[in-house]
Structures are given as C-alpha cells and as structure tokens.
Amino acid sequence: MRAANSESGEWVDGFLFVANRPILDFLNTRPVLAQGPTELLSDVRALERWLIASGMVHSAKAKSILRSWQHSPEAALFLKDLIAFRERLRDAVLRMEAGSAPADEFIKEVNRGLLRHPPITALHKRGGRIVREPTLELKRPSDLWPLIFDEAAGLLSEPEASRIRKCEACVVHYFDTSRKGSRRWCSMNICGNKFKVAAYQRRKRSGESP
C-alpha cells in the first residue's frame, strides 16, 4: 500500500485514518507499505502521536501527561501489551469479516478488561450539541485501557457487522458508511485508483492482443 496524497486528509501525523471507527484505525497501525509490513506504533512517542491524531485524547492536560511518559518503562510495557491486544483484535475482526463470531476467549478478555477498566463518560458541548464522551483520569499508562476496551466492545457488538470489511487490495480494515454499503477500498486515493489503472491496462492489453 502506498501513501495517500498528504492533502487528502487520510494521513495525519504519519497515521492512516480511513476506517470510520477509531478502533479500526488502531488496527491499521500496522499497514503494509512499500518496504513491507510496518509497525507505526514503534515507541511510546508514536503511541502518544496516534492517540492525539485519532482524537481519542484531546484535552491539553491529557496530552501533557502523555508527553511526560515518553521515557517511562511502565509506558513501554503498556505499549507492548497494547500491540499484543491489537493482534488478538485483528483475529476477531477477520472472523467477523468472514461472517463468523469472534473467539469466545477474546470476548471474555474484553469483558475482563471492561470490568477492570470501566469507561467513564461525561457530557460536553461540541459544535452546539451535547455529546457524551469518555473522560480520562490519567495517572498511569494503564488508565488508557478504558478507551481501548470500550471501543473494542462497541465494534464486537456492532449491529451492522457486515459493514466491517478489509480493503480488497491491501490489509487495511474499515467500517463501510456508504449509503449502498458498496465500498471496496480503504481509499480511492490509495488502492481504488491503483486498481482502476491496473484494470484499464489489463483491458487495453487484452484489446491489443490478436
């Protein structure tokens, strides 16, 4: 998968956001780029950047706390555990995309996570509307788990699970919000146009052959 045009708004601070669900954008932090499978959450600083770029962390106080963890061994351990969870989540999503249910053990893991790290929400004004959003009380890196487990639980219980899909041309996952539910690509700027050009060239070669 090649990078999208930087003006498309699909790449923010080095991360791809095309999934329409933060938890799927999290899953997409290990894309296949020109050099092969690439870990974008390479260190705690990268995790901080992703959390801010995704909008999961947006208050000035929370951002400041995240930055203070750049060299924290506890934060490095949290990141290691988070990446391991991401890969178990990937297996669950692949099962859902194939029309199956996630493994019982993974559902139990998410339930344990919700019990241990329950999400806390509060009402906020956003653009003239009242919205309910997660509230973070960051004292240690593990306080980020409520965001992850809450998002994962929402995805696993998605009533329109058939709209959770993987791009037909790469490894990127997304939630199809198109009206007809006919989205096939992670992005037209990335894989869609590339596929159309390849299909055109195949038709052209076929037309020129005897």
| 141-177 per-position pLDDT tens digit | 999 999 999 999 999 999 999 999 999 989 999 999 9
What is the domain count for the chain? 1
Phi/psi zone of residue 111: left (φ > 0), alpha (ψ -120 to 50 degrees), beta?
alpha
Domain assignment present for residue 1? The answer is: no
**DSSP-derived pairing of the beta strands 121-126 and 129-134:** antiparallel
Mean pLDDT over all residues of the chain? 89
Q: Per the domain annotation, does 142 fall within a domain? A: yes
Residue 204 vs residue 46, higher pLDDT:
46
Q: Please report whether residue 83 resides in a domain.
A: yes
Q: CATH number for the domain including 69?
A: 1.10.3300.10
List all residues 6 or more positions away from 137 whose beta carbon is below 8 Å from its beta carbon.
Answer: 120, 143
Residue 37 lies in a domain: yes
In a domain, 3, yes or no: no
SS3 (DSSP) at 18: coil
The domain containing residue 92 runs over which residues? Answer: 8-208
What is this structure's pTM?
0.86
Q: Report CA 148 to chain centroid distance, whole Å.
A: 10
Mean pLDDT of 82-101: 98
